Amino acid sequence: MTEPLTHTEVEPLLPAAALEILEGEELARLSAHLEDCTDCTRLLDVYRDVVAGLAGTLPEQPFHPARSERLRGRLVARTGRIPIADVPERRRRSPAAADRWIGWVVAAGLAGVLMVHHSFHRPVAYGWLAAGLLMLLLLGLGVYVRVQRTRMANLEDRLASLVQRTEDGATQP
């Protein structure tokens, strides 16, 4: 087993660690040291500030406002909480609301199973059997609708993304 690194050995490694260019054993030993050393972790954070600060000194690269805005919209949409104003009417039911129905659907399914089970006595209770089968049918229908809605939402997102990229390609010089 390799010897743990001392503070004196760790300190020269921290700049490279912040730049994320350490490899192999050096990286492993440094990581092991950092797990227990708040001082070195703090110093690593300072070097990370330097690395991030270097980004702040770069000449700004223009980010087309329309592209940036579309990307922002895509990100917010991906969070699963699309702003109501931006969502087509048919997709306005939130995932949380949809999920609330799952509990009722499962309850209906279980009730259906019980009804079908209850109907198998002699003589067969056709009323209970029909009700149970109907419940199971509704359960299957609910699951099917849920799956299709999810697929449709994913397809719409992909389509929107493709359309935006096509538009971007067309408008870019």
Partner 1 sequence: MADGDESALAQLYDRLSHRVHTLAYWILKDADDAEDVVEETFWQAWRNAGEFNRNRAAASTWILMIARTRALDRLRARRRRAERTSQAGASTLLDSLDGNSYPAAQQPELTEPDRRLSEALGTLPLEQRQALELAFFAGLSHGEIADRTKQPLGTIKTRIRLAMEKLRERLSARASRSRD
Q: Which residues bind partner 1 (CB under 8 A)?
A: 7, 12, 15-16, 18-23, 39, 41-43, 45-61, 63, 67-68, 71-72, 74-76, 78-79, 81
Q: Which is nearer to partner 1, 1 or 55 (CB)?
A: 55
Nearer to partner 1, 48 or 146 (CB): 48
Closest distance of CB 74 from partner 1, Å: 7
C-beta closer to partner 1: residue 76 or 98: 76
| Dihedral over Cα of 127, 129, 132, 136: its sign | negative
Tally of CA atoms within 13 A in the half-sphere of 142 that contains its CB: 18
Q: What is the torsional sign of CA 120, 125, 126, 128? A: negative
Which one, 20 or 104, has the nearer CB to partner 1?
A: 20
Q: Is the peptide bond before 123 cis (omega within 30 degrees of 0)?
A: yes
b/e for 128-156, b at 16 or more Cβ within 10 A? bbebbeebbeebeebeeeeeeeeeeeeee
Are 135 and 115 a contacting pair, CB within 8 Å?
yes
Give least dist CB 70 to partner 1, A.
Answer: 10
Rounded least distance, CB 101 to partner 1, Å: 21
40/46 Cα distance (integer angstroms): 10
Nearer to partner 1, 74 or 100 (CB): 74
DSSP letter at 122 equals: S
CB of 168 to partner 1, least distance (A): 9
Q: How far is the CB of 150 from partner 1 (least distance, A)?
A: 19
